[in-house]
Chain A
Amino acid sequence: MDIGALGVYVCLFAALYFEVFLLISFFENRPAKKTSSLPKHFPTVSIIVPFFNEEKTIARTVQSLLALDYPKDKLEIMMIDDGSTDSAGAIAQKLASEHSQITYLYKQNGGKYTALNLGIQASTAELVGCLDADSFTSTDALIEVVKRFEEDPTVMAIMPAMKVYRPRTMLERMQAVEYAFGVFYKKMFDNLSALNVLPGPFSLYKREVFTKIGLFHHAHNTEDMEIAFRMHKHGLKIVNAHNATVYTTVPTTVRALLKQRTRWSQGFLENLRDYKYMLLNPRYGNFGLLVLPFGLFAFFSGLYSAFYMSYIIVSTVITRTSDMYATQIPLHITAPHFDLFYVDTSMMMFTTLIVLGFTVVAIVLGNRIAEDKLNPFSFISYFALFGFIAPLWLAQAAWGAVRSQPAPWR
């Protein structure tokens, strides 16, 4: 066996180990079904909506917050305009004039984290949340989050279950499957007390989090990831409210998707570099022992496998072409002929299929947890596109991290 193939086996073994580990966690602690019960106490909540040139989606985002099943006098919506140059600011001002729940604040453009910090400092609520201006909440999302806070008073921050808003194209459907997979592994990370991100769409914090560990940092344009790292550093508990659903719009072009994912992936690498002492450190539990090392391993194994496959394909094409040139055998097409004898039953094929099979199981479970429905076309889109696109953003992020160039957030 050549060393290249051995490397792929190591990647496959690690991927399978990770999936098996998560499945054990799933069967050990299955996610609870949604109930119609209400919280005993309704704390005051401020939802910060930072925005910069989001004229297409800002109104819908705020409408979804206004439609939340929550006492109006307990819910404040803070629209923080980070120096928009389109009509988003005017839309926000109009909404603020129509609804007393809404506060509009303007600041010069300084990045998302500065807008969030302004909102946190301006609010006085017990719970502070954020909602990206391209996302929409389900009406019961806040109730579900508050119930989760009530269930466990030691919880300091909560992230919801995220779904793609009306996926239509192949690229959007690919992302819908990815998000379903995300619902599964985020819930499993919750079981392991090892959530690694508090995403922009509707993560909520107890106010004391910011008094204990400070406000958001620039954090390589991934402030939502860095604050999760910082909370683990200070032993503050993060959980997932899988019954709180948030819908998000996703990039509709490959170029936009690459930009977004490069930012996320590069942010992961750079935050990990800043918090490297957590890596494989049992003091930080499963976060340090499993989530961080496997995140890093997944990053590089994805890159390695893609390069290895590309190398095999390119070298085969070059060899075949040069052989044809050297032998002078004309290009000829032979009739397809199926013979069971020649079916690929190699170890590589089996283990790859097993890993893919486990991935499908995880996606289906994530879909079930989120009470969503993915159609077969979404799965086809995922398996047809993801393997080709993901290595591009991984490579771009690795290159960016090596050169330490911050990836733009817009």
Chain B
Amino acid sequence: MKDWRKYVLAFLITGAIFGTAFYITSRLDAGRIAEIRATQEAISVDLLSSETQFELLGNLDCSTIAEHPILTDELNSLAAQLAFTENRVGSDSSEVILLKKQYSLLEIKDYLLMQQISTKCGIKPVSILYFYSNKGDCADCSRAGDVLTYLRQTYPDLRVYSFDYNLDLSALQTLIALRKIKPELPAFVIGNITPIYGFKTLDEMQALIPELKDLATSTSQTSKAATTTQ
């Protein structure tokens, strides 16, 4: 084979290999997005079912509802998958933005439903609304997220609802307006008190939520897991 042909052929083969790798990567990312969408649809159905059940039963069956808290684990797992995919695909991907909108809607619905249950059944869930931005204008949002993730792992009954402040979603913007959240991020709404702004350390955050003392912790499980991994 003439040498120049070999140079061209090698280039074409290398290009084809890179193209194939790119295609496989894209397909796998698309698969992830499809998986998230399917999970969201399942959660959406479950939420609707819970709402309907609640409407049907009224406040007669509060014990059943209290024993079966609504979808916290599923929403947390979905949040982790969504964050991973956002990191992989990019936060400006239209698919990711759509998924985030759907996720935010689910969170709002779950939050509202929990508030209704709280009112009717006298349950006092500990919840935090967390507003962040990943546009590069919130240097402390990553650390604030770490603190909330740690709290959520430590107190499985703590309900953390995180929202991208800049997401173009009318329901979210209504929530922001109702809660009078200013664009000074990170911002937190703990229970029903007025918004708190700025980064808080773990100790500061725990001091802001005295109800945490009454929540069960996962310390025993964590210790056990840590021991077994050694």
B108 to chain A, nearest CB (A): 25
Q: Which of the listed residues B22, B88, B143, B229 has the most CB atoms from chain A within 10 Å of its own CB?
A: B143
Q: What's the Cα separation between A341 and B9 when bound, in Å?
A: 36
Pick from A21, A336, A341: contact of B6, CB below 8 A: A21
Whether B22 lies near A24 (C-beta < 8 A) is: no
Cβ contacts A334-356/B at 8 Å (1 or 0 each): 11100001100111001100100
Q: What's the Cα separation between A21 and B29 when bound, in Å?
A: 31
Q: What's the Cα separation between A290 and B14 when bound, in Å?
A: 16
Q: Which residues on A sit within 8 Å (CB–CB) of B147?
A: 327, 329
Q: Which of the listed residues B7, B18, B202, B225 has the most CB atoms from chain A within 10 Å of its own CB?
A: B18
Q: What's the Cα separation between A351 and B25 when bound, in Å?
A: 10
Q: Which residues on B sit within 8 Å (CB–CB) of A21?
A: 6-7, 10
Among A12-20, A250-258, A378-386, the stretch that binds chain B is A12-20
Interface residues of A (CB under 8 A from B): 13, 16-17, 20-21, 24-25, 28, 192, 285-286, 289-290, 323, 326-329, 332-336, 341-342, 345-347, 350-351, 354
Q: What's the Cα separation between A345 and B6 when bound, in Å?
A: 31
For the complex with contacts A17-B11, A329-B146, A329-B202, 19 further pairs of A-B residues with Cβ separation under 8 Å are A13-B18, A16-B14, A20-B10, A21-B6, A21-B10, A24-B9, A24-B13, A28-B1, A289-B7, A323-B142, A326-B199, A327-B146, A327-B202, A332-B226, A333-B229, A341-B32, A341-B35, A341-B84, A347-B22
Q: Which residues on A sit within 8 Å (CB–CB) of B35?
A: 341
**A-B pairs with beta carbons under 8 Å apart, 14 shown:** A21-B6, A290-B7, A326-B199, A327-B146, A327-B147, A327-B201, A327-B202, A328-B201, A333-B226, A341-B32, A347-B21, A347-B22, A350-B25, A354-B17
Whether B222 lies near A332 (C-beta < 8 A) is: yes
Instruction: Please tell me if B208 contacts chain A, counting CB pairs below 8 Å.
Output: no
Q: What's the Cα separation between A16 and B222 when bound, in Å?
A: 45
Whether A350 lies near B203 (C-beta < 8 A) is: no
Whether B202 lies near A328 (C-beta < 8 A) is: yes
Interface residues of B in 11-27 (CB under 8 A from A): 11, 13-14, 17-18, 21-22, 24-25
Whether B229 lies near A335 (C-beta < 8 A) is: yes
Whether B14 lies near A20 (C-beta < 8 A) is: yes
Whether B21 lies near A351 (C-beta < 8 A) is: yes
Q: What's the Cα separation between A266 and B173 when bound, in Å?
A: 62
Whether B18 lies near A351 (C-beta < 8 A) is: yes
Instruction: Please tell me if B3 contacts chain A, counting CB pairs below 8 Å.
Output: yes
Using A20-B14, A341-B35 as known contacts, say yes or no to A329 and B150 having CB atoms under 8 A apart. yes
